[in-house]
């Protein structure tokens, strides 16, 4: 139970840091099609890489 609580606290802290960074750090990103594609596809590609690496690791263990 303590592990789950610690994980949730860490997640909340990271979330607050990201929220503050988005709100107060001036970052001018032009609204272009390329930037929109990067913003949409980056999380999907990162998740695919993470899942594929887990799959490959499990295949090597068995």
Cα–Cα dist 18/60, whole Å = 36
Could you state, in order of their start, the residue ranges of all structural domains in the chain? 2-61
Q: Which of 30, 32, 31, 50 is nearest to 42 (CA)?
A: 50
Tokens standing for residue 17: 């840091």
The pTM score is 0.57
pLDDT of residue 45: 97
pLDDT of residue 43: 95
| Segments in the chain below pLDDT 70 | 1
> Which positions ≥6 away from 35 have C-beta within 8 Å?
29
């Amino acid at each position: 139970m303590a592990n789950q609580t610690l994980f949730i606290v860490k997640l909340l802290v990271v979330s607050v840091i990201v929220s503050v960074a988005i709100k107060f750090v001036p970052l001018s990103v032009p609204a272009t099609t390329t930037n929109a594609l990067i913003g949409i596809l980056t999380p999907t590609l990162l998740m695919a890489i993470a899942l594929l690496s887990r799959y490959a690791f499990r295949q090597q263990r068995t």
